[in-house]
Amino acid sequence: MSQELLFVRQAISEHDKATETIKQLKKMKAGDELIVPIGANSSIYVTLSSTDKIIVRVGGGVSAEKDPDSSIEYLSGMKTELENSQREMTSVLQRIEQEAQTLQARLQELSA
């Protein structure tokens, strides 16, 4: 459960990064040059060909082309769902921890 919660937190952070990147792209114009990370602490220079099309993964290996505002709206909705999951998972973990403490106290009583 803790590992899953970590994954949800990372996904929320990724949604924030994507949203911020799209907001910055909206300020740019076609032909502007960008540095894009490609992994292993490496980046490449690219020339922006369009600022009005964002490709967003919508699930099941399917992606959709959206305008920047629709992309931000979509990512915001997904982030809200992730935050709801995070709250639920945190609540479950707290209940598990409370139960573990209760069981530990009971075990100490029985061993005394």
| Mean pLDDT (the chain, rounded) | 94
Residue 46 pLDDT greater than 80, yes or no: yes
Q: What is the pLDDT of residue 111?
A: 85
Q: What is the pLDDT of residues 20-42, one digit of tens each?
A: 999 999 999 999 999 999 999 99
CATH fold for domain 2-106: Helix Hairpins (1.10.287)
Q: What is the pLDDT of residue 22?
A: 95
Percent of the chain with pLDDT over 70: 100
What would the mean pLDDT of 41-66 be, rounded to a whole number? 94
Q: Could you tell me which residues come within 8 angstroms of residue 15 by beta carbon, excluding any fewer than 6 positions away?
A: 75, 76, 78, 79, 82
- Residue 65: closest CA among 78, 53, 74, 77: 53
